[in-house]
Structure 1
Amino acid sequence: MDADSGEASEPAPAPAPAPGPYSHLTMAQYRSLILRQTEHPFSSSLPLLSDDQKSSSYACANCSSPLFLPNTKFASGTGWPAFSSAIPGAIKTKTDWRLKEDGKWVVLGGSLGLKLREEVVCGRCGGHLGHVFRGEKWAKVEEEVEGKGVTRYCVNGCSLVARST
């Protein structure tokens, strides 16, 4: 963090995963899961699954822990894979105090009426998966009940691996 401006410093370019605990990850997976960076929208093959690929469950690309079932995936049109729920106990959420504003990382405070994002991480290894958004309206999602909206887990596709079920 820059002491003069109170802004978080821009993250350094990601080094290639070194031999060791992350050597099995691609550069994109390392950036997302370990460095907590967001992949570019529509850069993953997961948002564009065909019907026959919807029979896959989805696991953490770092530790292979099962995270999402195929019947919870839906097309959000946002460019990232979307799920309406996770396998119980498979993920954890925490407040994400970071936001990129005008090309710089800014650390947010809880005051000023700002709605902080809720980060989603793997419950086993703590790898960054994406963010969760609650109460949204998605007409095609069956879990929308009594107009309360649904939960959308917006996940970096590179953080996941598809497993045939």
Structure 2
Amino acid sequence: MGKVNEEFEVAKTEAEWQEILTPEQFQVLRKHGTERARTSPLDKQYGKGTYFCAGCDLPLFKSDTKFNSGTGWPSFFEPIEGAIATSVDRSLFMTRTEVHCRRCGGHLGHVFDDGPAPTSQRYCMNGVAMKFVPEAESE
């Protein structure tokens, strides 16, 4: 059996994650990958509802905090309180703030200080790392 990262509430081995995630979800959520810009249907999803972690189903963002950033990735100006955690990412010869699910540690994307009011934050998320549930189904 593989090593389990026990610092998160939802902890699984790499093999267990591979069983429940698609290869694309595994690459992003567990290996800190990035989906290609403009490939996620969630980028153009503007219906009312909630965005959940694809790894553990934790609610992450509400649709009323989503905006079109023009980057090709789903973007939000504010997460649901207590849903995410951040860490410093020094890959790609720069320093960025990585955003991950606070419950399973899955990599979601990065947050930048160039978003709209009221927070001035842009949570630039990988769509493959999330699931959208329309409002009628998410209540």
Q: TM-score range by the shorter chain?
A: 0.7 to 0.9
TM-fit CA distance, 1:164: 2.2
| Letter of the structure 2 residue corresponding to residue 130 of structure 1 | G
The sequence identity of aligned pairs, in percent, is 42
Is it true that 1:43 corresponds to 2:39 in the alignment?
Answer: yes
Structure 2, unmatched stretches of 5+, are 1-13
User: What is the aligned partner in structure 2 of residue 86 from structure 1?
Assistant: 79
TM-fit CA distance, 1:27: 1.1
The list of structure 1 runs, each at least 4 consecutive aligned residues, that deviate by more than 4 angstroms after superposition, is none
More helix by share: 2
TM-fit CA distance, 1:116: 1.3
1:159 and 1:73, CA in 2 relative to 1: closer, same or farther beyond 3 A? same
Is it true that 1:129 corresponds to 2:108 in the alignment?
Answer: yes
| Letter of the structure 2 residue corresponding to residue 20 of structure 1 | E
Number of matched residues?
122
TM-fit CA distance, 1:46: 0.5
TM-fit CA distance, 1:22: 3.1
After TM superposition, list the pairs within 5 Å mapping 1:1-165 onto structure 2.
Answer: 20-49=16-45, 51=46, 54-99=47-92, 116-134=95-113, 136=114, 138=116, 142-143=117-118, 150-165=120-135
Root-mean-square deviation over aligned CA pairs: 1.7
Q: TM-score, normalised by structure 1?
A: 0.69
1:137 and 1:122, CA in 2 relative to 1: closer, same or farther beyond 3 A? closer
Question: Would you say the 8 A contact 2:115–2:122 is kept in 1?
Answer: no
TM-fit CA distance, 1:94: 0.5
Structure 1, unmatched stretches of 5+, are 1-17, 100-107, 109-114, 145-149
Structure possessing the higher radius of gyration over alpha carbons: 1
**CA offsets per residue over residues 115-151 of structure 1, 9 Å max, x none?**
61000000100000000001x154xxx526xxxxx10
| Letter of the structure 1 residue corresponding to residue 108 of structure 2 | L
Q: How far apart, in 2, do the equivalents of 1:130 and 1:93 lie?
A: 10
1:116 and 1:71, CA in 2 relative to 1: closer, same or farther beyond 3 A? same
**CA offsets per residue over residues 26-45 of structure 1, 9 Å max, x none?**
11111100000011000110
Q: TM-score, normalised by structure 2?
A: 0.81
Q: How far apart, in 2, do the equivalents of 1:126 and 1:21 lie?
A: 12
3-state SS of 2:17 partner:
coil
TM-fit CA distance, 1:24: 1.7
**CA offsets per residue over residues 26-70 of structure 1, 9 Å max, x none?**
111111000000110001101112x4xx21200000000000011
Q: How far apart, in 2, do the equivalents of 1:38 and 1:89 lie?
A: 23
